[in-house]
Amino acid sequence: MKPYTTMAHIHTLDGAMDEITVLAEHIMLGHRIPNSYIVDYKGVKCTAIFNCFVGAYYADDKFGVITQ
């Protein structure tokens, strides 16, 4: 997957939109998690989900921070 930028609802901004970079699909224990991605938001790697019903990403830069 090639990284790309898009807009997302950001947790620490109380759902306001800002730009993220989608880096990869989220894989846990060797399994792809549907609609879940690893993203970069202002230098913080975190998880995000894509809601296909509304066509928007939701980045969790509060509880979904990836430290490894």
pLDDT above 90: residue 11: yes
pLDDT above 90: residue 1: no
Average per-residue pLDDT for the chain = 95
Mean pLDDT, residues 15-32 taken together? 94
The predicted-structure confidence for 33-66, as pLDDT tens digits, reads as follows 999 999 999 999 999 999 999 999 999 999 999 9
Q: How far apart are CA 10 and CA 31, in angstroms?
A: 25
What φ, ψ does residue 12 adopt, rounded to 5°? -70, -10
The pLDDT, as a whole number, for residue 68 is 77
- How many other C-beta atoms lie within 10 A of the C-beta of residue 49? 19
Amino acid at 38: I
Q: How far apart are CA 60 and CA 51, in angstroms?
A: 13
44-51/56-65 β-pairing: antiparallel
